Amino acid sequence: MSSDIVLPGQPIPIPRGPMPHVGNGLYSRDGTVRASLIGVPSYAGSALEIKRTRPRPPAPDSIVLGLVTRLSPLQAVVSITVVDGVPLPAGEEFTGVIRVQDVRATEKDKVKIADCFRGGDVVRGLVLSLGDARSYYVTTARNDLGVIFATSEAGATMEPVSWQEMRCPKTGKIEKRKCAKPEGM
Amino acid sequence: MAQSNFDRRRINGPEESFLPIFDSDEEEETRWKPGNPRIGRGARDIRPIFLKAGLINQANGSAYIETEKTKIACAVYGPRQSKSTTYNEKGRLNVEVKFAPFSCTRRRVPIRDAEDRSVAVQIQQALVPAVRLELLPKSTIDIFITIIENDGMEGCIASGSVAASAALADAGIEMLGLVASCSAAVVGKEIWLDPTEEEGKVSSGTLILAGMPALETITSVWQSGSMTPTDAIKCMEACQERYMDIHAVAAQALLQNAQNT
């Protein structure tokens, strides 16, 4: 297998037949497909790609995990720490913003940020766009997106009871959150 | 008073002191004289290169290069979010060069000066065309290069570029190809490749060429001193021929590193 490792700039022989879709870690120039990463090219569906194991900046459509750092009536600021399942190195977080209209898909005008997120919550979101100079725009408007980890005022880890409520196991108090649907339910 | 804890009761030495530099007789004999062939190696030979990637483990990617008395460590951090307030469609490549205080024959004050910056600019120029910055919007890649030992500025720039490109590849940053770089000096009527500091001093002009051998493209040409156009072209051809070997060394080192992990 080791002989199959390619280096940046190395041309990749393409078998006869239709030209594969050039995916991650590859580029085509002057009709030749070349690698732009170190790795082993492989097919993922119809696309030829080199898998990357290193963290990378968020791009539109990537699933990110982040920590809510600041709330305002218009938006929640999250510090993105995991992109597509790859954790970023410490101190290299990206900032994302969940705007009030991106919190959920329905009844967008009735959303109150304070009833959906609290500081310190861990949120799973989808990157909508590159956003502005400072932050990426993130949405939680999907069943599987939203708060996945939160602590109550009493300090205990809460469990979701509905898509907009979480219960503290210690006090039994119910707090409002935009919860993500737990996986495997 | 410059220093608050200055001891006035005793005799203080001067603030700065340097070792006396002697011209030894031995050195006089081995010094090159005009008309003689190059000492130590052939005119078109380069110094042997040792390159290893991934030696600095807290960095995203790193490389260490050694060519006889030139020793350079390079670390790559990022891509991380740009601190600037303007929106950038393309990523930024930030190169910082530091000379260790003991890197030169005379102690270097560990403050960034004009020389550090000019070396950084030249290395940045050699690398930028090779990195696919269009894939990294709003991000910055930081490259920190520490020159541990310096034997000729030309060699430092060339080796620094090679090390930085190896470190970028090690960091998993998408590149069009590996960058190789070679320097040349015109001494008398000859062209000497990869000049040392001594050889740089006796030369009339120097040239540094960087490119991507895999794509047969040149990324940067830097010429200083006086040189006829024919000499410049000859230098470029000689460099271009030789940086294939440098590219092979870098490729070998990266391949070995990839196989071990």
**Chain B residues with CB-CB distance to A under 8 A?**
60, 77-82, 84-88, 132, 136-139, 169-178, 212, 214-215, 251, 254-255, 258-259
Which chain A residues are within 8 Å of B83, Cβ to Cβ?
none
Interval B169-212: pLDDT, tens: 998 888 999 999 999 999 888 889 988 888 888 888 999 999 99
Q: 3-class SS at B217? A: strand
The distance of Cα A41 from the centroid of its chain, to the nearest Å, equals: 24
Select from A66, A59, A63, A183 the least CA-distant residue to A123: A66
Kindly determine whether residue A9 and residue B177, on different chains, have CB atoms separated by under 8 Å: yes
Divide the 185 residues of chain A into consecutive groups of 10 and give the mean pLDDT of each group: 74 76 82 86 79 79 93 93 86 89 88 91 92 88 91 90 91 92 83
- Enumerate the CATH 2.40.50.100 domain ranges in chain A, comma separated: 2-50
pLDDT of B88 reads: 81
d(CA B56, CA B76): 9
d(CA A110, CA A99): 13
Q: HSE on the CB side for A78, CA within 13 Å?
A: 31
In the CATH scheme, what architecture does the domain B41-260 have?
2-Layer Sandwich (3.30)
Radius of gyration of chain A (CA): 21
From B134's Cα to the closest Cα of chain A, the distance in A is 12
What count of other Cβ atoms lies within 10 Å of the Cβ of residue B199?
21
Query: Token pair for residue A185?
Result: 């339910």
3-class SS letters over B151-212? CCHHHHHHHHHHHHHHHHHHCCCCECCCCEEEEEEEECCEEEECCCHHHHHHCCEEEEEEEE
Pairing of strands B190-193, B217-225: unpaired
Interval B111-132: pLDDT, tens: 777 788 889 999 999 999 999 9
Query: Alpha carbon of A53 to those of A92, B120, B172: distances in Å?
Result: 16, 29, 8
What count of other Cβ atoms lies within 10 Å of the Cβ of residue A69?
15
Q: What is the DSSP string of A42-85?
A: EEETTEEEE---S-----TT-EEEEEEEEE-SSEEEEEEEEETT
Tell whether A92 lies on the interface with B, counting CB pairs under 8 A.
Answer: yes
Domain ranges of chain B: 41-260
Which chain A residues are within 8 Å of B132, Cβ to Cβ?
27, 36
CA dihedral B27, B46, B250, B49 (to 10 degrees): -30
| H-run or E-run covering A136 | strand A136-139
Looking at residue A108, the DSSP 8-state letter turns out to be: G
Cα maximum dimension of chain B: 68
**Parts of chain B with a pLDDT under 70:** 1-4, 23-30
- In contact, A159 and A140? CB cutoff 8 Å: no
pLDDT of B28 reads: 58
Which chain B residues are within 8 Å of A34, Cβ to Cβ?
176-177, 214-215
pLDDT of B127 reads: 93
Does domain A2-50 bear CATH number 3.40.50.1360? no
CATH class of A63-176: mainly beta
pLDDT of B2 reads: 54
Tell whether A28 lies on the interface with B, counting CB pairs under 8 A.
Answer: no
From B247's Cα to the closest Cα of chain A, the distance in A is 11
- In contact, A75 and A49? CB cutoff 8 Å: no
pLDDT of B124 reads: 93
What count of other Cβ atoms lies within 10 Å of the Cβ of residue A133?
13
Which ipTM value was assigned to this complex?
0.79
Sheet holding B50-53, edge to edge: B50-53, B61-67, B70-81, B139-149, B92-99
Rounded to the nearest 5 degrees, what angle is found at the Cα of B148, between the Cα atoms of B147 and B149?
95
